[in-house]
Amino acid sequence: MIDIRSKLKFDKESLIALLTFEQVKSGVFSFQNKDLASEIKKASVAGQFEGNKGELFPVLMEKKIVVLCGVGKEKDINLTSVRIQLRRAILSGYLKKVKSVEVIAYKDKEDVVTALIEGAVIGSYSWRKYISIKKDDKTVFEKNITIAARPNKVYDEAVIISQNVNFVRDLINDNADTVTSLFLEKTVRNVLKNQKGVNLQVFDRNKLKAKKFGLLLAVNQGSNKEPRVLIAKYQGAGKKDPYIALVGKGLTYDTGGLNLKPTGHMETMRQDMSGAACVIGMLKTALELKIKKNIIFACGIAENAIDANAYKPGDVITGYSGKTVEIGNTDAEGRLVLADVLAYLVKNEKPARIIDLATLTGAVVVALGHDYTGLVSNDDDLARGILKSAQATDDRVWQLPSYLELRDSMKSKIADIKNTSNYKGAAGTITGAEFLRQFVGDVPWAHLDIAGTAFVENDSRWYFGHGATGAGVRLLTHYLKNN
């Protein structure tokens, strides 16, 4: 639980104080507490704490633990590091057994407090569903956190957005045989329960066959799990206002198909539905924030498994659009699922803009690492809006090029298009996006490749622990509210 209140009351089990180098040296703080100020001065004089970036120092005041957190010189402060430092303090051994924590920052400023909220909610998250708790373990994993700041509607929204980031992380982190297409359908229905102004369409296997979603069905045909397409239409604006479509890739597990992924690349493939999870999280966010836009939330859901019925390299398959696709590699499956959903939306829903999210290519990790989502777009205005939102939210994005000659890279000798590039391993992210671009026509479209940013495979990155990050939720919420 997280709460915002206007003044530091010093009434919780613990206090986290984020302090600048200048505050520690001058003894001038944004709060009035003489005892605490005295303790900070003592730590500084003893050379134990100077407010440098990354410093953590515990002070015991009667029965209260105060954790002093250095954030460095004010002119050099980066809000990412503020989030990281608060996370480190919350998860530190000093507060292991503490249930309630109060937080005071070096400045009561909107962007600083928002960063604290994100550092607290997103940073304190951990996936512990399958970890047994020892009887003598007194660790408190879910803390009640109070932030001392003036009330602001922006903070209330930041709490909701951050909680929905964690909602998405829960979906991605759970077992693939738990989070199936039917589970995601049930999740969407629960999100929509008792909600007005939103309509849900569900395409099961029979409807997908009738509507000729040939590419999506081909990807799923080696699985014993049901495929699904979920389309929720949310009307937050006037009936005549245009719709923007958010489309998510939902591969609940990806073996790679007959082009089998090797050991070291398959173990975390439950996260291949991160795009769809983000779209579902965005639906929940739009409803809770009452975003004043007309939005289509669409998920293409399948499982790329292997049995005697699995689709094969060299197959030619006809998709919803009527285009035939040569299968160059069964592990380039996400673009097939998205192609059918994109083509359906363009023809039947006619959105004014489309943004898709997908863990589409390993190549984006090679290009951008794990800290930036790859963006490819056919519309400069749309791309600029997304990049601006990325800068505002720390949900980072980097734009990659899209150009006419890429069309040649996806040509096939036996079909209209091929699902792998003729560039022989080069430019994998932008050629994957080029495949998708050929199914959106002239509609302004942006593709977000979150293969690098959606999941942390080591112990931690920034203010995320191991596992899903919920990439895209903060980014798209800001974009929808401001564009």
Write out pLDDT tens, residues 17-74.
999 999 999 999 988 889 999 999 999 999 999 999 999 999 999 889 999 999 999 9
Asked whether residue 18 falls in the same domain as residue 48, the answer is yes
What CATH number is attached to the domain comprising 11? 3.40.220.10
Whole-structure pTM value: 0.97
Asked whether residue 51 falls in the same domain as residue 182, the answer is no
Q: How far is CA 448 from CA 114, 164, 255, 383, in A?
A: 24, 19, 22, 10
In tens, the pLDDT along 108-167 reads 999 999 999 999 999 999 999 999 988 888 889 999 999 999 999 999 999 999 999 999
Which residues make beta-bridge pairs with 296? 233, 245
pLDDT band at 459 (very low <50, low <70, confident <90, very high): confident
Q: Which own/partner contact pairs does 40-47 have at CB distance under 8 Å and 24+ positions apart?
A: 40/68, 43/68
* Domain limits for position 66: 2-151
Q: How far is CA 49 from CA 86, 210, 354, in A?
A: 16, 68, 50
Q: Last residue of some domain: 120, 151, 182? A: 151
SS3 324: strand
Q: Please check whether residue 150 is in contact with residue 105, taking contact to mean a CB–CB distance below 8 angstroms.
A: no
Asked whether residue 102 falls in the same domain as residue 242, the answer is no
Q: Last residue of some domain: 131, 151, 171? A: 151
Q: Please check whether residue 36 is in contact with residue 66, taking contact to mean a CB–CB distance below 8 angstroms.
A: yes
pLDDT band at 101 (very low <50, low <70, confident <90, very high): very high
Residue 3's contacts (CB-CB under 8 Å, 6 or more residues apart) are 144, 145, 146, 147
Say how far apart CA 387 and CA 396 lie, in whole Å: 8
Asked whether residue 292 falls in the same domain as residue 431, the answer is yes
**Total domains in the fold of the chain:** 2
Q: Residues 83, 87, 335, 437: which is the catalytic one?
A: 335
Asked whether residue 92 falls in the same domain as residue 196, the answer is no
Asked whether residue 240 falls in the same domain as residue 354, the answer is yes
Asked whether residue 370 falls in the same domain as residue 340, the answer is yes
Say how far apart CA 356 and CA 361 lie, in whole Å: 14
Q: Residues 261, 323, 396, 407: which is the catalytic one?
A: 261
Q: Is 335 a catalytic residue?
A: yes
Look up residue 260 and give its DSSP letter.
P
Residue 333 CA, distance from chain mean position: 21
What CATH number is attached to the domain comprising 251? 3.40.630.10
In tens, the pLDDT along 393-426 reads 999 999 999 999 999 999 999 999 999 999 988 9
Asked whether residue 130 falls in the same domain as residue 177, the answer is no
Asked whether residue 349 falls in the same domain as residue 391, the answer is yes
Asked whether residue 18 falls in the same domain as residue 141, the answer is yes
Handedness of CA 302, 305, 308, 313 (dihedral sign): positive
Q: Is 396 a catalytic residue?
A: no
Asked whether residue 29 falls in the same domain as residue 102, the answer is yes
Task: Report pLDDT for 352.
Answer: 98
Asked whether residue 116 falls in the same domain as residue 248, the answer is no
Q: Please check whether residue 118 is in contact with residue 477, taking contact to mean a CB–CB distance below 8 angstroms.
A: no
Look up residue 297 and give its DSSP letter.
E
Say how far apart CA 173 and CA 103 lie, in whole Å: 29
Which residues make beta-bridge pairs with 233? 199, 296
Q: Last residue of some domain: 122, 151, 180? A: 151
